[in-house]
Structure 1
């Protein structure tokens, strides 16, 4: 039975029993405390916590999940995976144990012809919480499970809670006996490899207060309404029903594994190490495909880093299988889209964009691997030469920060070389870097507010009505006030507040559009609003400062936005739609929007592309869009179903998830997109668009920045004045300026090269004199010299090597040259072969000098370079080198 059929049967069974089917939520968690959805119940958490009212009392779903804490175990065991799907049925104050238990048993044991999974009853075992006599009575008395196949377990195994105060309760698990060939008899408490868990039924009946650990918590009392939360792992169920030993061999994973084996000319099942790599590739390609489909882009932070790590582990394991520099991710992704597209048709529709992102990350990382591996090999060689067993944290950080090596890749490669990594040193450097460049987007979206506080306001006040499409001023009521994340009844002058209104014309930041600003007035207060966010669906939070008076919950209020700011932002938003269409026309449908920001007078537009966009294409898109403005096309917005929107060819932003009802914004027949933002009435209101340029912001993602309206006109006016000034100064017509400037720049570069040559010659001219004046230190010729300030580091190195080359081969020679190229000192050491034979090392001597300079450095035994921060200590540094040579030779 294929995975898609298993999911279909599950959902249909519960739909026939009064459950509403809820499509899988995006892997990008709405819960701001989570990066990704990691359990089937996560999208339903607000319902269990009482923050929102569920759409129905009975729900069922097949939810996508990603979990990575055990990523290092993927491929090594039969049960660890990063992507999995949870089939679940949920009851909110409707049926309880007496409904959930018979439902589960019926679906598992019913024949396939009748829509069930046909599990033999005699091979099913059940576990219950140790004192849950009600569950035992239902399993034995109502369902008929023999008492010897019902086992009681403690808190660690059969009690569930979220790890925080809230609902919790005992659970009951159903296990399948795979047979004596998989382990010993005795039920789940004896062997969970033989007895495989297939379903977990959670009976939420208690309100937990303090939660200290999995088994240590306080029960405050009974929940007013008892709930059911169940979870059946689709991949594990597929392994049983398809008769395979592990989840890597089921239909949606094995096809990827098999193709990876073909591409790398590997045979699955012959070599344990190769099998692990094939399983990692199969799991990670599927996970990466699903994450990209939900709009996650590779990055160095948050969920972007999770995706990048998963994709790069796939590529790395393909190389271990012998792929070399061949690019196989495109073909493997195509297999993943094919097998998962039967459950998630949007994968097929979004295939070009998914391929674009993953292909670009593969190309980027293959380049990173070539460079980073060479650096890694040098670090390993140096560590082993010194007799070390641990790769320094600074080296791991350099690999990560400079060459893009994820730390887990460094750990893997170090382990292959028999080395460990100073992870604590690496983590410390990472923490320091984050502190220097802190940008916590999550804090911007949720402020300091506890999500439960926001949920309580939403539950009490209901969804906030947004009136801003056609109103700039609106009468409303203050539904909630927060200061520092805590709900308060009132706030006085000078207070930084977050205010929730019952209805509002203020647009909350979203879809790339910046938030409105303005003012809220009550009979006794005036509040300046500088930001508006929607941290929970249906909730709009206004952030600002009470300018005068006191605002109280329940006050009647008038909300008024800054109209000129809104108009400018709306022009930018409409311009983004037009530029999006323009780039798709020019580059093809793979140029999918990957982000945007619509600010007053300017906007940026991010899109997927394999490489840089030629200037000619930028000009063509700009011309095409400005032609649309001249034609003054009408801008219309209307609501329809998602199916009808797709039939109309409306563009849906890649990675965004939409409800059944969607809003379409169309500009004549030129552009049609799903969008919740605000726009102008017609394209002519934009006036003018000026594209400033494009750049890369990550693998496979380009960014275009542009101006619109008066900002675009002012920019062109300044450009015109600048060109006129250049034309006057160079005594050339405007059309001659590029050629004239190119000639001047060429002559300037030639002059700079000649100056550099003369400087180098001047520096090297003293080489003979320095060699002749070498000091004899314990039988070795030693030269220590400070070059004139401004001598480049490259010239310092050339001088050191030139002087070293002037000594006879049978004479030990050490040359140390120091200088200050800019503001910081640099030191270069060179030791000839005879000197190295006596135990003298350029790397160690540079370290001695750099220590005096307040810095560090190193390199090979023959030549090395370092630096510091104290140029006034160069004399001390050179003296320390001479002493070190004397001490070594003595």
Structure 2
């Protein structure tokens, strides 16, 4: 059926391909742009072309770009207009057609009959807006038959587009669809943007903007090198209009997720607003989370990982609030995969990893909810102890921000406990936090790095890399760049970027750091410190002139440091060995999440839930070294991407590959990966691989580190020397060291337990004296004393409990203040008889707490905490005596 969303995006692409555009696949949601957590607009991958920094390989293009925007994440579900994930269909012109072409192409697709490949919108329901002074755009619309009364002029805030930072910008013309009077008032987009829904924005990108904030408070620096077109059509908005439903949540790619949520929770969508918000949160976030994980994002505590973690946790909490009693993420990501895979097949091929990451985060969050519930219960006890009826905004915020406990659950559980929550105070603290985050993000935004100085050389074509076949190459100096400026010559002692026509030095990529080496000629010598790529094809040698001078046009010798390259190839090939071993030991779900290798060392990140056992680590090391000992040949060849994938070659996740790829094969089926790095000729040349250990680098991501080659040997030699030293000290053979150490550890544990028993006995021996010295205050016996120096909180609690028990049924209060390492731990305990007289442990803390700069709390029978001022102990004891006297009277 035509109105399926997949068909809407297909028709868009076909329309522009027929018009001569090159179809460009969606970029990953993650791009190397310091301004963006995620790709949030269709034109992001084309920014260098718009700025004139690179020459595009096509004059016109079309794409459907996956996008994520999370600025309004808290509003998702509350309204039906907010989404975190969306698809932006666009067509782009780089100095080719301009306003007329963009307008005519858009109008044609929207209004063309369905039978002819269009969308079949009624032209009478379409409105357009143009920028205030854009007479040209208005005339084009009039010529297409749009009456003047359906064309509105709007200011810079509405009809002038930029990315919010210095970069390309320009006036725009937006197309709106009139949904009818039942959705709002008459008057066009200026009057009501719910009734008149924007579906397509045509940006006439002709200028470059400067610094400034907001949509209309920035300087126009001047024209771009060429006039360009950037358009964005919201696929989801067009879908719900063509499918005849009220909003995006009713469309074919989101409503089935809500249906699944209804099955899992027993609730129904459309019954009440609060539940509907939760259903929409689940539908939106499940799709966004799956798309982010598919592009290599893993849950974490900052940046992209934190956004994903929030999305996943909002799904889980919404499902629980709807009544789900068991884990839900596996079923949600499965239905998302089924729905979205026709357009994004990676959701199907990589489903197991997506499922593992999402389920792992759900499991962790359910534990967080359990911990948060305990903290919530303690908060409730403190409120009730003081006779309060409301949980403070600060406590609610602490539960949310520090422990990840959702405010929704705090509100619900507080109501069940008969308490209120200072929700206004909580919202104020949340608003302050969001404002700080927004200001921090804005302060880190800056203009796109100016790469125009390299454009001439990027346009010449890629640097010829000779390093697969030789370590020394003759080359010509094409350009010298110092401090961002092109210079004709560089002298001894000067740092300079050198651009050569060809080079044997490897530029950093794929986890392998750049080669070190030299550039020489006659009396000239430069030390090459680093090699980086510009636009993935231009080698830039970051160097220091050590002697002589280098001039543009010089003929030079570029040479790799042989020892460096030997170690680098060992590290990189060793990474492939460890990757293959991981998949043998753990299975195919141990998917690469990143790597770094350098001479003698490698680290490898992979998706996995839970710590590896010692046996697994040993197996990984053994399988790797078996492959080294097998002396497998290392073969490399170039083929097309589809053939490489059919052969089973592993790809680095999140990496964009061209049509042709280089495959590195080690031992046939043992290891086959897409890789542009340098490698050994045979696996035996890697040398021994020693796994140093593994650790967590984020939720669902583990890291293995290892030494290879000579570094591995040197590490093992140090370990052997260390073992020999321990064996000598213990006077046993090396092979008996583990058993001997185990014996010593057990003896130490026994000694520590005996010492603890002695210590406890000594503490309890004081209990009788405290009872004998008890003061009678009114009807209560009071022990208010400073404990011996060095007695910690645990021993204080034991002692106080023992003293309280010795008073039997007679009303008694015990207050003990310690002095340990400059801190003042304290315990207050009140027996049942004293509680019946109105004395509560938590209340008494307030009497002496200020004297010792301390805080604490607890239940009526016991409270504890700590202070920071031991000098205040005498005053604190006097204060608590006075308070007990007041209450006991």
* TM-score, length basis structure 1: 0.89
**Match of residue 363 from structure 2:** 363
Classify 1:266/1:753 alpha carbon distance in 2 versus 1 (closer, same or farther; 3 Å): same
Alignment partners' CA distance in 1, 2:428 and 2:526: 47
Query: What corresponds to 2:652 in structure 1?
Result: 653
SS of the residue 1:676 aligns to = coil
Distance (whole Å) between structure 1 residues aligned to residue 20 and residue 413 of structure 2: 53
Q: Equivalent residues in 2 for 1:488-499 (5 A)?
A: none
Cα deviations across residues 389-415 of structure 1 (Å, max 9, x unaligned)? 6746587457645x4558999899999
Query: Where does residue 4 of structure 2 map in the other structure?
Result: 2
Once the two structures are superposed, the pairs formed by residues 336-375 of structure 1 within 5 Å of their partners are 336-375=336-375
Aligned equivalents of 2:218, 2:435: Cα separation in 1:
32
Bigger Cα displacement from structure 2, 86-95 vs 656-665: 656-665
- SS of equivalent to 1:751: helix
Alignment deviations for residues 93-114 of structure 1 (CA, whole Å, 9 cap, x no partner): 1111111111111111111111
User: Matched residue of 2:806: which SS?
Assistant: coil
Cα pair distance change 1:523/1:862, threshold 3 Å? farther
Q: 1:673 corresponds to which residue?
A: 673
1:261 aligns with 2:262: yes
**2:799 match:** 799
Counterpart secondary structure, 2:696: strand
Deviation at 1:547, TM superposition (A): 6.0
- Cα distance in 2 between the residues matched to 1:398 and 1:874: 32
Q: 1:166 to 1:862 in 2, by over 3 A?
A: same
Displacement of 1:387: 4.9
Q: 1:667 Cα shift?
A: 0.8
1:23 is aligned to: 25
* Deviation of the 1:136 alpha carbon: 1.6
Distance in 2 (CA, whole Å) between partners of 1:586 and 1:787 is 56
- Please give the residue correspondences for 1:335-414 in structure 2 after superposition, counting only pairs within 5 Å: 335-379=335-379, 382=382, 387=388, 391=392, 396=397, 400-401=401-402, 403=403
Aligned pair partner of 1:452 in 449, 453, 456: 449
SS in structure 2 of the partner of residue 251 of structure 1: coil
- Whether contact under 8 Å (1:767, 1:802) holds in the other structure is yes
Shift of 1:884: 5.4
> Greater shift after overlay, 78-87 or 727-736?
727-736
| 1:164 match | 165
**Residue 637 of structure 1, CA deviation:** 2.5
**1:856–1:868 Cα contact (<8 Å) kept:** yes
Q: CA deviation at 1:707?
A: 2.1
Please say if residues 396 and 410 of structure 1, whose CA atoms lie closer than 8 Å, have aligned partners that are also in contact: no
- Show the counterpart of 1:292: 293
Distance 1:826 1:179 in 2: 69
* 2:570 aligned partner: 571
User: Does residue 714 of the first structure (1) align with residue 711 of the second (2)?
Assistant: no
- Alpha-carbon distance in 1 for matches of 2:496, 2:431: 36
**Contact 1:20 1:56 (8 Å CA) reproduced:** yes
What residue number does 1:419 align with? 423
Q: Is the 8 Å Cα contact of residues 50 and 224 (structure 2) preserved in structure 1?
A: no
Mapped contact 2:80–2:249 kept (Cα < 8 A): yes
Question: 1:112 is matched with which residue?
Answer: 114
Aligned pair in 2 of structure 1 residues 518, 836: CA closer, same or farther (>3 Å)? farther
Over residues 847-882 of structure 1, what are the superposed CA-to-partner deviations in whole Å (9 max), with x where a residue is unaligned?
A: 665554455443344323323455565555545544
Measure the CA separation in 2 of the matches of 1:736 and 1:661: 56
Q: State the Cα distance separating 1:340 from its structure 2 match.
A: 0.8
Tell me the alpha carbon deviations over residues 24-75 of structure 1, each in whole angstroms, 9 at most, x when there is no partner. Answer: 0000023221111011111111211222221211010000000011111111
Q: Retained in 2: the 8 A contact 1:352–1:589?
A: no
Q: Does 2:645 align with 1:632?
A: no
Number of the residue aligned with 1:703? 703
Q: CA deviation at 1:357?
A: 1.2
Per mean C-alpha deviation after superposition, the further-off stretch among 407-416 and 193-202 is 407-416
Confirm or deny: 8 A CA contact 1:91 1:228 kept in the other structure: yes
Q: Distance in 2 between matches of 1:583 and 1:524?
A: 50
Larger RCO, structure (CA 8 Å, separation 6 or more): 2
Measured against aligned partners, the alpha-carbon deviations of 1:75-98 in whole angstroms (never above 9, x if no partner) come to 121211000000000111111111
- Where do 1:504-515 residues align within 5 Å? 504-515=503-514
Q: 1:450 to 1:13 in 2, by over 3 A?
A: closer
Bigger shift: residues 488-497 or 690-699: 488-497
SS state at 1:819 partner: coil
Give the equivalent residue in structure 2 for 1:41. Answer: 43
Structure 1 residue 315, shift from structure 2 partner = 1.0
722-731 vs 329-338, which deviates more?
722-731
Equivalent-residue separation in structure 2 for 1:537 and 1:291 (angstroms)? 24
Residue 84 of structure 1 is matched in structure 2 by 86
| Aligned counterpart, 1:590 | 589
Per-residue CA deviation, residues 218-251 of structure 1 (Å, 9 max, x unaligned), is: 4444444211111100111111111111111211
Change (3 A) 1:426 1:283: closer
Partner of 1:831: 830
Offset, 1:773: 0.7
Distance 2:563 2:458 in 1: 30
Aligned position for 1:763: 763
- The yes-or-no answer on 1:102 pairing with 2:101 is no
Q: Which moved more, 1:716-725 or 1:809-818?
A: 716-725
User: Offset of 1:841 from its aligned partner?
Assistant: 4.8
Deviation at 1:727, TM superposition (A): 4.8
Structure 1 residues 632, 747: closer, same or farther in 2, change over 3 A?
same
Q: Note the C-alpha offset of 1:687.
A: 1.4
Measure how far apart 1:664 and its partner are.
1.5
Question: Which is further off, 698-707 or 386-395?
Answer: 386-395
Counterpart in the other structure of 1:234: 235
User: 2 CA distance for matches of 1:773 and 1:430?
Assistant: 56
Alpha-carbon separation, structure 2, partners of 1:271 and 1:747 = 65
Assess, with a 3 A threshold, how the Cα gap between structure 1 residues 125 and 285 changes in structure 2: closer, same or farther: same
SS at match of 1:213: coil
- Check whether the contact 1:814–1:835 (CA below 8 A) recurs between aligned residues: no
What is the TM-score of this pair, normalised by structure 2?
0.89
Cα deviation for residue 151 of structure 1 reads 2.1
Contact conserved, 1:482 with 1:499, CA < 8 A, in 2? no
Distance 1:497 1:750, change over 3 A: farther
RMSD: 3.6
When structure 1 is superposed on structure 2, of 287-296 and 269-278 the one drifting more is 269-278
Q: Kindly state the Cα deviation for residue 344 of structure 1 after the two structures are TM-superposed.
A: 1.0
Call closer, same or farther: CA 1:581–1:797 in 2, change over 3 Å: same
What is the deviation of 1:546?
Answer: 6.3
Q: CA deviation at 1:678?
A: 2.3
Q: Which moved more, 1:300-309 or 1:716-725?
A: 716-725
Deviations 1:551-579 (A, max 9, x none): 78777766544432332232122111111
Q: Among 121, 124, 134, which residue is 1:122 paired with? A: 124
Aligned to 2:682: 682
User: Residues 393 and 422 of structure 1 are in contact (CA less than 8 Å); yes or no, is this contact kept in structure 2?
Assistant: yes
Partners of 1:719 and 1:562 lie apart in 2 by 30
For 1:380 and 1:717, locate their aligned partners in 2 and report how far apart those are by CA, in whole Å: 59
> Is the 8 Å Cα contact of residues 788 and 818 (structure 2) preserved in structure 1?
no
CA apart distance, 1:210? 5.3
Q: Which 5+ residue runs of structure 1 have no aligned equivalent?
A: none
1:138-217 paired onto structure 2 within 5 Å? 138-141=140-143, 143-209=144-210, 211-217=212-218
Q: Counterpart of 1:252 in 2: which secondary structure?
A: coil
CA shift at 1:765, angstroms? 1.1
Greater Cα shift, 104-113 or 14-23: 104-113
With 13-22 and 665-674 compared, the bigger mean Cα shift is at 665-674
Which residue pairs with 2:741 in the alignment?
Answer: 741
Cα drift, residue 15 of structure 1: 0.5
> For residues 121 and 548 of structure 1, do their structure 2 counterparts lie closer, same or farther at Cα, with a shift above 3 Å needed?
same
- Please give the per-residue CA displacement for 1:481-508, whole angstroms capped at 9, x wherever unaligned: 354x788888777777766666554444
Note the alpha carbon deviations across 1:432-469, whole angstroms, 9 max, x for none. 99xxxx9x9x99xxxx9964323443456656624444
Cα deviation for residue 711 of structure 1 reads 2.5
- Does the aligned pair in 1 maintain the 2:817–2:873 contact within 8 Å? no
* CA distance in 1 between partners of 2:430 and 2:788 (Å): 38
CA positional deviation for 1:719: 3.5
CA distance in 1, matches of 2:12, 2:88: 11
